[in-house]
Structure 1
């Protein structure tokens, strides 16, 4: 089973928006990347695979740890996002960028470690993907993946979704177990799937953090109108400019309680899945 739909979405639909908003998204999700790097036992000289590396900020973070003696391979299904990643790591001799599907790609050499910030939730077949990745991990190697926890505990999604619904009406029900941001929210289900993939040492740690959007309420509401459930609702309902403006106002009102005076701090629930392959 392939990820054709996800490849098209992240290359043609979402990818250009993430590229355009790269600085804002890096700042917003910076605390999540910090979580990954704090929990991943990377060391100098490691050969690392960064799954779903997107526009490359996580590749750079891993390079800073493994140093010149190490190597980082950034993998993503979106060529659009990898084009920007290539610009950001230009000149680094110990980095490779790979346009591929982690679920099916045949890796040439085993890795000491694998990391991912929100890159593992979009595979059509999670068991197949995890088995393929596990096969590409050296004995003693580690996996450290960040994924969104339960949707109700993530107002970054729920606040704009509810705001859009208050203006436009409800969206169709979706199956959150399908590839998407919340496919890994049920940690019991995912740990069982990792075990089915032959990863017997998998565990999860759930962490509460604050996301840190770089702009004020108006700026962040505008960002949410371009990336996320509010944008999806406007598109689904074919809202005109006036209705879209009303949605943006509602989104701004919904996130206003997260304004600390020192900037927006949006609570988030993050699962950190980790495993070490037996030596």
Structure 2
């Protein structure tokens, strides 16, 4: 792995923050289920296809893809976190058309022209060299094979990020600023920038659009505010400032108050802007 992607492997495979995705597995899956539906609707997978899922995490999308392509197809989930892959394999027990691999998709020598489609839910924004990653993944596709991936849109359209961040920084202070285009959750917020990188990697038929949907964190207001405080920006601010239990409780209360406008019939429907990208491997490649 490159040095930067090795940092990502350390974060997602060993850090306390990364391991929270295992702790809150069910809540995260429920929250992001609408994103999976959007992704698979656009990918339009067909029975018998061979699919590559990049940044598969705990296997939510890989499993959905395996069901879509059926027993004559195959889904390969790739991630850089061994604990995530261990859990994904447990969840896939008994399914004969699913496989997982520990790999850095930026550099992994995938079997060439082996896959009909590539998909990813929030797994493409962490590479140190996006052009190299796009080109390497494209080599795994058959000529004309299509990649479809979802990424977070601009911060202003995603209260999942800005509400917890505001609550945490109001309580504890600002963290050092980072480049929003650097590897991280919001790195693909700028559609024009990303499509330019895709073109530079030699991809064809590039399309991208922002889609508005509602995330569906479970547990009502209490569950949603707890999840938003324990993951993402609030958790990073708490860790940076070594926040106390009292700090966490205060941030959670602030998040809860800010989420109240999104409660409908006891459910939290949190608006989100998701950038959906598609492209094909050039047929002449």
> Among residues 21, 30, 33, which one is paired with 2:33 in the alignment?
30
Residues 51-74 of structure 1: CA distance to partner in whole angstroms, max 9, x if unpaired? 011001111110111101000000
Residues 174-223 of structure 1: CA distance to partner in whole angstroms, max 9, x if unpaired? 11111101110001000010111111321102100000001111221111
Match of 2:87 in 1: 84
Contact 2:58–2:85 (Cα < 8 Å) also in 1: yes
Match of 1:140 in 2: 144
Looking at structure 1, the residues matched to 144 and 109 of structure 2 have their Cα atoms a distance apart, in angstroms, of: 20
How many residues of Structure 1 are paired with residues of Structure 2 in the alignment? 279
How far the C-alpha of 1:136 sits from its partner, in A, is 1.2
Q: Structure 1 unaligned runs (5+)?
A: none
Match of 1:202 in 2: 206
> Among residues 11, 14, 17, which one is paired with 1:12 in the alignment?
14
Q: TM-score, normalised by structure 1?
A: 0.97
Q: Structure 2 unaligned runs (5+)?
A: none
Looking at structure 2, the residues matched to 262 and 207 of structure 1 have their Cα atoms a distance apart, in angstroms, of: 25
Looking at structure 1, the residues matched to 33 and 180 of structure 2 have their Cα atoms a distance apart, in angstroms, of: 24
Contact 2:203–2:282 (Cα < 8 Å) also in 1: no
Contact 1:15–1:78 (Cα < 8 Å) also in 2: no
Q: TM-score, normalised by structure 2?
A: 0.95
How far the C-alpha of 1:255 sits from its partner, in A, is 1.4
Looking at structure 2, the residues matched to 231 and 251 of structure 1 have their Cα atoms a distance apart, in angstroms, of: 12
Looking at structure 2, the residues matched to 238 and 16 of structure 1 have their Cα atoms a distance apart, in angstroms, of: 18
Contact 2:63–2:98 (Cα < 8 Å) also in 1: no
Residues 120-154 of structure 1: CA distance to partner in whole angstroms, max 9, x if unpaired? 00111100000101111101211000000001110
Match of 1:97 in 2: 100
Looking at structure 1, the residues matched to 22 and 206 of structure 2 have their Cα atoms a distance apart, in angstroms, of: 33
For the residue of structure 1 that corresponds to 2:268, the secondary structure is coil
Runs of 4+ in structure 1 over 3 Å off: none
The answer on 1:150 being equivalent to 2:154 is yes
Match of 2:50 in 1: 47
RMSD (Å) for aligned C-alpha atoms: 1.1
Match of 2:228 in 1: 224
